[in-house]
Amino acid sequence: MNPLVTPNLGLLIWQAITFLIVLFLLSKFAWKPIMAALREREQSIDSALQMAEKAKLEMQSLKADNERLLNEARVERERILKEATETANSLVEGARAKANEEGQRMIENAREAIGHEKQAALTEVKNLAATLSINIAEKLLNRELQDEQAQRALVQSYLQDANLS
């Protein structure tokens, strides 16, 4: 048979001794540092996972806070817009009422001024008519009373009118 398939007893013993020596050396010098490195690696992985979980929780908390702040900002914006609209409407209504009041006051003042001007114009027309009447009467009297006979006739006519009344 082939020596590779069925090993020799001496070869088997030497291989076992070599294996035990390597195992002893590895356990004495390499096993502890390898295990320490593996434990350290495991701890760093656990630490990284814990930090990732903590970061995830913080992100969820920040996201919730962000949503809450956004909702509060929306509510505040709506409130401010509503107040601004109400204020603008009240200002417009106030201005409209004041303009109407001012317009009515101006109309009343204009009516009064027109009434005063009308009265002044009527008075002026009456005075002018009276002055014109007096001037016309004076001119007529001057023309009629230029001679003495006309004067006597005028006095007679006034006397007759006075007796009839």
Of 24, 16, 23, the closest CA to residue 8 belongs to: 16
Q: Is the pLDDT of residue 12 over 90?
A: no
Q: What pLDDT does residue 148 have? A: 76
Tokens linked to 70: 């956004």
Q: Give the confidence band of 165 by pLDDT, cuts at 50, 70, 90.
A: very low
Q: What is the pLDDT of residues 73-120, one digit of tens each?
A: 999 999 999 999 999 999 999 999 999 999 999 999 999 999 999 999
- Please check the confidence at residue 163 and state whether its pLDDT lies above 70: no
pLDDT confidence of residue 92: 94
Tokens of 49: 């996972």
Per-residue model confidence (pLDDT) at position 57: 94
The pLDDT value recorded for residue 133 is 81
Full DSSP string of the chain = --TTTS--HHHHHHHHHHHHHHHHHIIIIIHHHHHHHHHHHHHHHHHHHHHHHHHHHHHHHHHHHHHHHHHHHHHHHHHHHHHHHHHHHHHHHHHHHHHHHHHHHHHHHHHHHHHHHHHHHHHHHHHHHHHHHHHHHHHHHHHHTSSHHHHHHHHHHHHHHHHH-
- How confident is the model over 130-143, as pLDDT tens digits? 888 888 877 777 77
pLDDT in tens, 19-51: 999 999 888 888 888 889 999 999 999 999 999
Q: Domain ranges in the chain?
A: 9-164
Report the C-alpha gap between 51 and 41 in whole angstroms.
15
Q: Which residues are within 8 A (CB) of 16 and not within 5 positions of it... i.e. 6 or more apart?
A: none
The pLDDT score that the predictor gives to residue 138 is 78
